[in-house]
Amino acid sequence: MNKYFISGGAGFIGSHIAKYLLSKNNQVHIYDNFSSGCLKHLKKFLNHPKITITKGDLKNLNFLRKSMKKSEIIIHCAANPDIAKAQFYPPIDFWDGTLLTQNVLESMRLNNIKNLIYTSGSGVYGEKGRNIFDEDFEPKNPISTYGASKLACEALISSYCNMFSFNALNFRFANVVGLNQTHGVGYDFIKKLKNNSKTIKIFGNGLQKKSYIHINDVIKAIFFIKKKTKFTCKKKFFIVFNVASKDTITVNQILKLALKEMNIKHIKIIKDKKLKGWSGDVPIIKLNCKKIIKYGWTPSMSSEQAVELSLKELK
């Protein structure tokens, strides 16, 4: 069994990864500053004999280096979870994204740890109309500071793989949904409908069209690829995978599913005329997942099924 270190291990994606690894009897060290992550995400595993939880900030390089010692595989999930927040404070994705990744990589180098799994996102591609993005699409021109930070982090990881013989798996996820998510359109709809079942506002015109993938499929993809690529074989590589469902769904369709889940039949819907929901939003995006599918992985749910299940979980 491996010794894993998960940055942001009490957050949405990190906590699901931690629970999966603990269920397989791996040793798991969770490192989190608990700004958005919380222990309730891990409540069934808090007394597990192989879990270690450290409250710490990735900005503290010295403390991080000491905490990471003796780990074998690093899974880096920590980042600013609220993409739209940068509208009001643009530096957030540097301080809570790029800088954190630099410190994770440097702590790995100082501890002679070679194996990294990184959770990136589709924001690295930017906005190119109705293009379907594969991993090699160029040029990548992010339109949000979140996407820019993710792309900068990937570049840093690539450089450490080449300079210091790291192995890295880099996953560019579509919109991830499911239990414990703290942001996103479905999350916002359920929260708003609980407070007001008479009126709801959509950011944008509701025609934004994207792929949504359930957290269960995300976990399966990560560890399927880890096994297929023989991740800990001590061979230097940096491999990137898109991970998404095979289709897309609109914001209007998500609202319809949310109203059905909350059993609300009559409601006033307020919309904007513009397509973009907020500054930095990529309203239409689809990922080409042929690369990961060639390895043998395929999503178990469509975008609609993923969103539908997540709404039940969120409710």
Do 154 and 190 fall into the same domain?
no
Q: What is the pLDDT of residue 276?
A: 82
- Do residues 187 and 117 share a domain? no
Residues 134 and 197 placed together within one structural domain of the fold:
no
The domain tally of the chain equals 2
Instruction: Give yes or no: residues 150 and 195 share one domain.
Output: no
Are both 259 and 234 inside the same structural domain? Answer: no
Q: If you average pLDDT over residues 303-307, what whole number do you get?
A: 98
Closest CA to 218 of 285, 282, 287: 287
Kindly indicate the confidence band of residue 117, based on its pLDDT and cuts at 50, 70 and 90.
very high
What is the average per-residue pLDDT within 110-125? 96
Cβ atoms 210, 175 nearer than 8 A = yes
The model's pLDDT over 185-214, given as tens digits with 9 standing for 90+, comes to: 999 999 999 999 999 999 889 999 999 999
Whether residue 222 is found in the same domain as residue 239? yes
pLDDT at 231: 80
Residue 197 lies inside a defined structural domain of this protein: yes
pLDDT (0 to 100) of residue 143: 93
**What mean pLDDT comes out for the span 268-286?**
87
Does any domain span residue 126?
Answer: yes
Within-domain flag for 83? yes
Q: Are residues 84 and 202 in the same domain?
A: no
pLDDT per position as a tens digit, 43-71:
999 999 999 999 999 999 999 999 999 99
- pLDDT value at position 171? 98
Q: What is the pLDDT of residue 84?
A: 80
> Does 189 share its domain with 114?
no
- Mean pLDDT for the stretch of residues 24-33: 97
In a domain, 140, yes or no: yes
The answer on 254 and 129 residing in a single domain is no
Mean residue pLDDT of the chain comes to 94
Q: What gap in Å lies between CA 79 and CA 93, rounded to an integer?
A: 8
- Asked if residue 70 is part of any domain, the answer here is yes
Query: Does the residue 54 lie in any domain?
Result: yes
Judge whether 198 lies within some domain. yes
Give percent above pLDDT 90 in the chain: 84
Specify the CATH number for the domain of residue 9. 3.40.50.720
Q: Which amino acid is at 274?
A: K
Domain holding 275, by residue range, is 178-210+246-283+301-314
pLDDT for position 106? 98
On whether both 238 and 251 belong to a single domain, the answer is: no
Q: What is the pTM of this model?
A: 0.95
* 290 within some domain: no
Contacts of 253 (CB under 8 A, 6+ apart): 304
* pLDDT tens column, 217-256: 999 999 999 999 888 666 678 999 999 999 999 999 999 9
pLDDT of residue 233: 60
Q: In CATH, what number is assigned to the domain containing residue 265?
A: 3.90.25.10
Region 82-110 average pLDDT: 94
For residues 217 and 253, membership in a common domain is answered with: no
* Residues 100 and 158 placed together within one structural domain of the fold: yes
β 209-210/249-250 pair status: antiparallel
Q: What CA–CA distance (Å, rounded) separates 184 from 293?
A: 26
Mean pLDDT value of segment 162-187 = 94
Given this model, what pLDDT does residue 246 score? 93
